[in-house]
Each structure stands twice: as structure tokens, then as C-alpha cells.
């Protein structure tokens, strides 16, 4: 990201100076108030929900799982809200806008991952677990070891994902409202803490519902506008194939390979696989990471503890499936619509990863950056994205707080002997501490590449959490030794492989790319100067825009070179990636499973063996499970804690 520090010595300084002095503004200053008002309205709505919820939270069951007072449909929307992260809304839309078909493969991955959660994990977890992922691990295995290890993993995974989300939120708010990055991050952090600390799972659930409804409504409205302009289905795709901007983009991506392709072939290529993923194995590895990683994400698992009966759990899962599936189909039209209406260069310029594609599309659909309606649309979509981020970070804080308070404090330190009030207090304190830490980390990560944090989250969840939970639930001979070995090996493999993967920043590559931009700049500038001298006012206007863009690119390149002057190697001292895959899942998930098997076979654990009957019976029968109170007859009777 551009820090705006130009050396000011090279020939292009004149072009670079104004661009670097003023960061790219998406919303004109006179419409900032609009973004602000819409954001404030939505935040107000969620705070109202929190206020109403806070008065209902008295017991740990209320705090962690809403006390069972959530209906199947409500929970379906809440699951969808939990699941549709900003990574999947902003990120996937941007990937489709920039990379066409390959971007859409992410959407499919997110959806199928959810189906895997439903079939493999949701019901047994609901039937056996209570508040946290470690509850499931501690059930059969040595409770102390399982809780400590499980909590460590949950806190690490949540923290990585949280920091990535906070950085995203900070950039989003800064771009749209113009508040400083640091203040944006603090504002997001304070909001998420307000939801969690005061309202626990009840408030978090309502924030998720509000956000899911907003997100789906905003997406539907945008897709309707896209279809109105470009036509439905076949007509729409024909427009994509025929679009000159798309041709340019594909030609730029393919480079030399595009030579000799007709415009129509270029357009078709956008709807075919292979633009984004260079190595085929990477696609498959991404699939593994998405599917198993999602099934091991603590804040997703936690959601299944909120439904009172197996039947309600399934109802909510089907609701969620339809909402999530429908939403991801919409991302295809949003992404391609953004490629048509906004164009890849404009999208990539605001954010190289394409994350601003959806807000920019909204602005363009509403009438462009100068119109009131365009900026209103932008504000609405951005506010939906913002609500998405705060809802997901709230879920993450809740998951981490429950691991710290329920597993470490109550489970390990107090040996399970803590009253209801003390448990809720511990959970609130843990949430406040963890949230505070997340705010500090988010500020420290300013301007950093956070792609590896997201990859890390999914890799650790898939390689450490998933094998341990799955084998505990489904394998007779699984025991403490296996769970400990699996979690350690899975986490070490995932982290280790990411540290040497292409996700990290390699200064040499960055500097080389930046140098290339600088080297090519004079020639490009000459071309632009020539266009500026032309008579055609439209061409001059275009050339002016290109000149400004070039200036910003040069400023960024200088900034990159400046920043990496001191170092030539990545964080772990490599000049180039040692492991070729962005997602290590293909290697680290099997390693995690293998470690569970070997560890279990080498370790003798009579308790795990003796508990197998119970685990198996509970997995199917659920509700008779002791320790889980029977479902309330109707709605949310105030929880009596049966501890």
C-alpha cells in the first residue's frame, strides 16, 4: 500500500508528486457526510440490538450460546452472517472482477466448505460440545492437556484472522470516510468489544442477522441493476465476452501468450479457468484448505452450540445453505458486473487485491462518483461490508474469549469449579483483554501484507483443529496422545510451510517488480504526452487519467524500493519461496491426520477408550447428554444453569 513517500529525484517526480501527496479518494469530499451517516445508522442499529441483548445475558450459557432462545430460521441467518465474511464478499467479488472464472472457484469453495461442515461436524459438535471446540476434545481425552492445547490453537487462529479483518476494516473506513487508519481500527475494535462484552452471543447473533440481511439485500439490489443494464444470463455473459476492457485485462494477464488471440478469444478466456492459478496443484490445495479449514474454524463451530435441538440445528443449516448458496451465486454477477462497469484497472488501482470492487460497482451503478445516488449506493454497500467485518470480528473475539475463560480459566485454573456469575465475568474480562490486544496488533499491522495471515488461519484450522476434532468424534482408537501429536504436528507443518511460501513478502521480487515499473515509466510517459497533445478532448481526458495513474504507480514503486532497502530476504531469511503452494493444506492436512493416528497408536489412554461408547451414543442421540440442559419449551426462558 502506498505510504506516499516519494524520493523526488527521478525524472517522473513531477507526475508523482501530486499523486503521492493526496491518496486516491473514492468518495468526493462533499459526499463524505453521506457515508458517515449511513455507517452511523447501521452501527446504531447494531448497538440497539446489543443493548436489548445485554439485559438477557446472565449465565455462561446465555453468554456463549444465547441460552437456546434462537429459532431455526434466525439461527440460519446468523450462521450465514457468521460465515459470509468480508473476505468472501469484498475479496471474492474482487477476485472475480480481476480474474474471471478462477475467482468464482473461490465462491464454490466457500459454499462446499459449508456443506462439509454440515455433514461432518455440525451435528456431532452440537450433541457433544457445550461452549467451545476444546469441550469436544476434552470430552474423551485428558481434559487438561486437551483444553490447554485447544485453547492455544483457538486463540492463535482467531488472532490471525482477527488481525487480517481489522486491517481490512481500517482500510475500508479510511478509504470511505477519510478517518485515519489508526482511529478506524480503534473504532472497529471498540464496537466489536461493545457487542461481545455486553451482549455476548445474544448480541453477536443479532449483529450477524442484521449484517446478513443487509449484505444479501445490498447484493440483490446491485445484481438487479447489473442485469437491468447488461441483460440476464446469456445476454450478460455475451456482454462480458464482448467487452473491450475485459479484452485488455486478459491480454495484460496473459502477456506474450495473448499475442495472436482475437478480441473474442480474449473475452472468452475470461470465463475460462487458468488466469489466476499458475500451478494446478494450488487450486486443489486451496480447495483442501477452504473445506477443512472452515470445518476447523472455532467461531463457525461455536455457532452450532446455539441451537436447542438437533432438528432446529438442521433447519438452521438448511436455511443457511440456501442463503449462503444464493449469495455466492450473486458474487459471480457482482464480480463480472464490476469488471464490465468499473473495469479491472480502476479496481486494482484503489486496492491491488480487488477488495474495493463491490463498493466501486455500487457507486458506478448509482450514477458515478459525482452523483448523490451513486455515493448513497456506495455508502450502503460499504456499510454492509463494514457490518460484515464487525460481525465476524465479534464472533472471533467471542470464540477466543470462550477459549481463554471457559477452557483455560474455568477448566484448567479453577478445575471446573466456578459459579455462573464468575464464569460470565471471566468471559467478559477475557473478551476485553483479547479485543484490546487485537486492536494493538491491528494498528501494528498497518500497511502490512496480511494475505499470509488469512492463509495461516485456514491452514492451522484445517491441519491442527480439524483432524483432532474429527478423529476424536469418529475414530474408536483416537486418544490424548493422538490429539496432542496431531495438533502440534498440524500447526507446526502449517505455520512452517506458510513461512516459506509465496504468501510472504520477498523483498527481491518486490524490488524487481518496482524497478520494472520505474524503468518502463519514461516510455509510457512519452506515449501519454503524445496523447495529451492530441486534438480529441476525450483522448486528452483519458491521457490525463493515465498520467495520474502512472504517477501513483511510480510513487508506489519508489516507496516499495525505499521500504526494502535494508533487507533482501523474507521474514525467515529466504530470497525466494522454498515451498511453491500458497495454501499448504494439501501437505499439512494429511500430516495432521497421520500424526493423530501415529500418536494414538503409540499412546495408552484407558479413559479415551472407556469413553468411546458414550461419545458414540451421544453423537447420535445428543439431547439426552448430561450437562446439556433440555431444550426450553418455547423461546428463551431465562437460563437456569445446570452445572
Binding site for another protein (CB under 8 A): 101-102, 104-105, 108, 111-112, 114-116, 118-120, 139, 233-234, 237-238, 240-241, 267-268, 271-274, 277, 280-281, 283-284, 286-287, 291, 310-311, 314-315, 317-318, 321-322, 325, 328-329, 332, 611, 613-614, 616-617, 620-627
Q: Is the Cα dihedral 132, 323, 88, 197 positive or negative? A: negative
CB of 247 to another protein, least distance (A): 13
| Residue 480 contacts residue 145 (beta carbons within 8 Å) | yes
Residue closer to another protein (CB basis): 446 or 616? 616
Q: Grid coordinates standing for 456?
A: 495461516
The answer for residues whose C-beta is within 8 angstroms of residue 158's C-beta and 6 or more apart is: 298, 299, 396, 397, 399, 400, 403, 434
From residue 639, give the alpha-carbon distance in Å to each of 64, 200, 203, 325, 616.
12, 14, 16, 34, 28
CA distance 504 to 527: 35
How many CB atoms lie under 10 A from the CB of residue 429? Answer: 15
Residue closer to another protein (CB basis): 319 or 506? 319
CB of 311 to another protein, least distance (A): 6
CB of 306 to another protein, least distance (A): 18
Residue closer to another protein (CB basis): 334 or 378? 334
Residue closer to another protein (CB basis): 1 or 284? 284
DSSP letters for 466-502: HHHHHHHHH-TT--HHHHHHHHHHHHHHHHHHHHTST
Residue closer to another protein (CB basis): 279 or 568? 279
CB of 119 to another protein, least distance (A): 5
3-class state of residue 538 by DSSP: helix
Residue closer to another protein (CB basis): 39 or 470? 470
| Residue 331 contacts residue 221 (beta carbons within 8 Å) | no
CB of 353 to another protein, least distance (A): 21
| Torsional class of 635: left (φ above 0), alpha (ψ -120 to 50), beta (otherwise) | left
The answer for residues whose C-beta is within 8 angstroms of residue 128's C-beta and 6 or more apart is: 135, 136, 139, 473, 615, 618, 619, 622, 625
Residue closer to another protein (CB basis): 53 or 105? 105
104 φ, ψ to 5°? Answer: -65, -25
What's the first-to-final CA gap in the chain, in angstroms? 51
3-class state of residue 339 by DSSP: helix
Residue closer to another protein (CB basis): 325 or 367? 325
CA distance 398 to 57: 14
CB of 274 to another protein, least distance (A): 6
CA distance 65 to 31: 41
CB of 111 to another protein, least distance (A): 5
Q: Grid coordinates standing for 333?
A: 454477477
| Residue 300 contacts residue 84 (beta carbons within 8 Å) | no
CA-closest candidate to residue 170, choices 440, 431, 365:
440
Residue closer to another protein (CB basis): 328 or 386? 328
Residue closer to another protein (CB basis): 603 or 612? 612
| Residue 45 contacts residue 54 (beta carbons within 8 Å) | no
By the 10 Å C-beta count (0-12 exposed, 13-18 middle, 19+ buried), 117 is classed as buried
CB of 609 to another protein, least distance (A): 12
CB of 491 to another protein, least distance (A): 24
Q: Grid coordinates standing for 447?
A: 500497511
Residue closer to another protein (CB basis): 171 or 410? 410
Query: Running DSSP on this structure, what letter comes out for residue 29?
Result: G
CB of 16 to another protein, least distance (A): 40
CB of 272 to another protein, least distance (A): 5
Residue closer to another protein (CB basis): 267 or 435? 267
| Residue 559 contacts residue 4 (beta carbons within 8 Å) | yes
CB of 424 to another protein, least distance (A): 20
Residue closer to another protein (CB basis): 36 or 643? 643
Residue closer to another protein (CB basis): 548 or 611? 611
Residue closer to another protein (CB basis): 539 or 620? 620
Place of cell 470464540: 399
CA distance 28 to 257: 39
List % helix, strand, coil for the chain (3-state, nearest 5): 75, 0, 25
CA-closest candidate to residue 148, choices 456, 639, 383, 487:
487
Residue closer to another protein (CB basis): 198 or 319? 319
CB of 473 to another protein, least distance (A): 12
The answer for residues whose C-beta is within 8 angstroms of residue 190's C-beta and 6 or more apart is: 439
CB of 608 to another protein, least distance (A): 12
Q: Is the Cα dihedral 43, 46, 48, 50 positive or negative? A: negative
375 φ, ψ to 5°? Answer: -75, -30
| Residue 467 contacts residue 596 (beta carbons within 8 Å) | yes
CB of 461 to another protein, least distance (A): 18
CB of 332 to another protein, least distance (A): 8
Amino acid at each position: 500500500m502506498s505510504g506516499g513517500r516519494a524520493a523526488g529525484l527521478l525524472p517522473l517526480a513531477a507526475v508523482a508528486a501530486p499523486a503521492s501527496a493526496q491518496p486516491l479518494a473514492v468518495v468526493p469530499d462533499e459526499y463524505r457526510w453521506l457515508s458517515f451517516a449511513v455507517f452511523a445508522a447501521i452501527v446504531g442499529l447494531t448497538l440497539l440490538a446489543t443493548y436489548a441483548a445485554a439485559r438477557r445475558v446472565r449465565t455462561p450459557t446465555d453468554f456463549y450460546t444465547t441460552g437456546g432462545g434462537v429459532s431455526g430460521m434466525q439461527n440460519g441467518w446468523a450462521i450465514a452472517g457468521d460465515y459470509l465474511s468480508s473476505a468472501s464478499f469484498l475479496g471474492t467479488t474482487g477476485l472475480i472482477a480481476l480474474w474471471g472464472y478462477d475467482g468464482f472457484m473461490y465462491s464454490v469453495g466457500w459454499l462446499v466448505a459449508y456443506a462439509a461442515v454440515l455433514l461432518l461436524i455440525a451435528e456431532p459438535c452440537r450433541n457433544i460440545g457445550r461452549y467451545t471446540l476444546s469441550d469436544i476434545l476434552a470430552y474423551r481425552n485428558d481434559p487438561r492437556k486437551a483444553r490447554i492445547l485447544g485453547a492455544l490453537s483457538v486463540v492463535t487462529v482467531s488472532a490471525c484472522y482477527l488481525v487480517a479483518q481489522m486491517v481490512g476494516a481500517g482500510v475500508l473506513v479510511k478509504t470511505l470516510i477519510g478517518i485515519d487508519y489508526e482511529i478506524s481500527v480503534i473504532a472497529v475494535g471498540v464496537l466489536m468489544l461493545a457487542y461481545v462484552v455486553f451482549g455476548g452471543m445474544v448480541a453477536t447473533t443479532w449483529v450477524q442477522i442484521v449484517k446478513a440481511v443487509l449484505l444479501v439485500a445490498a447484493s440483490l439490489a446491485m445484481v438487479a441493476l447489473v442485469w437491468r443494464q447488461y441483460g440476464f444470463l446469456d445476454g450478460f455473459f455475451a456482454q462480458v465476452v464482448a467487452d473491450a476492457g475485459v479484452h485488455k485485462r486478459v491480454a495484460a494477464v496473459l502477456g506474450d501468450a495473448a499475442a495472436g488471440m482475437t478480441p473474442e478469444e480474449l473475452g472468452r478466456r475470461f470465463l475460462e479457468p487458468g488466469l489466476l492459478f499458475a500451478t494446478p496443484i494450488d487450486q486443489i490445495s486451496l480447495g483442501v484448505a477452504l473445506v477443512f479449514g472452515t470445518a476447523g474454524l472455532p467461531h463457525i463451530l461455536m455457532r452450532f452450540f446455539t441451537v436447542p435441538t438437533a432438528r432446529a440445528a438442521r433447519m438452521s443449516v438448511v436455511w443457511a445453505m440456501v442463503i449462503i448458496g444464493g449469495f455466492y451465486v450473486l458474487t459471480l454477477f457482482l464480480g463480472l458486473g464490476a469488471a464490465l462497469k468499473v473495469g479491472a484497472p480502476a479496481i486494482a488501482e484503489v486496492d491491488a487485491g480487488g477488495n474495493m470492487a463491490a463498493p466501486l460497482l455500487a457507486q458506478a451503478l448509482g450514477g458515478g462518483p459525482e452523483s448523490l445516488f451513486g455515493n448513497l449506493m456506495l455508502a450502503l454497500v460499504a456499510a454492509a461490508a463494514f457490518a460484515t467485518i464487525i460481525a465476524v470480528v465479534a464472533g472471533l473475539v467471542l470464540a477466543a474469549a470462550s477459549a481463554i475463560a471457559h477452557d483455560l480459566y474455568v477448566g484448567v485454573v479453577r478445575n471446573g469449579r466456578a459459579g455462573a456469575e464468575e464464569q460470565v465475568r471471566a468471559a467478559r474480562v477475557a473478551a476485553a483483554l483479547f479485543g484490546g490486544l487485537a486492536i494493538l496488533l491491528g494498528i501494528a499491522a498497518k500497511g502490512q501484507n496480511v494475505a499470509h495471515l488469512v492463509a495461516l488461519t485456514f491452514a492451522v484450522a484445517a491441519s491442527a483443529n480439524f483432524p483432532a476434532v474429527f478423529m476424536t468424534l469418529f475414530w474408536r482408537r483416537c486418544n490424548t496422545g493422538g490429539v496432542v501429536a496431531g495438533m502440534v504436528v498440524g500447526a507446526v507443518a502449517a505455520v512452517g510451510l506458510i513461512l516459506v511460501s509465496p504468501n510472504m513478502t520477498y523483498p527481491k521480487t518486490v524490488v524487481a517488480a518496482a524497478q520494472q515499473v520505474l524503468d518502463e515509466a519514461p516510455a509510457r510517459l512519452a506515449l501519454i504526452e503524445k496523447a495529451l497533445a492530441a486534438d480529441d478532448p476525450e483522448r486528452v481526458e483519458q491521457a490525463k487519467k493515465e498520467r495520474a495513474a502512472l504517477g501513483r504507480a511510480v510513487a508506489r514503486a519508489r516507496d516499495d524500493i525505499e521500504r526494502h532497502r535494508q533487507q533482501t530476504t523474507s521474514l525467515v531469511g529466504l530470497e525466494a519461496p522454498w515451498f511453491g503452494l500458497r495454501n499448504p493444506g494439501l501437505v499439512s492436512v494429511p500430516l495432521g491426520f497421520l500424526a493423530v493416528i501415529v500418536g494414538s497408536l503409540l499412546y495408552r489412554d484407558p479413559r479415551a477408550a472407556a469413553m468411546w461408547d458414550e461419545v458414540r451414543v451421544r453423537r447420535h442421540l445428543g439431547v439426552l447428554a448430561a450437562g446439556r440442559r433440555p431444550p426450553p419449551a418455547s423461546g428463551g426462558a431465562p437460563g437456569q444453569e445446570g452445572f
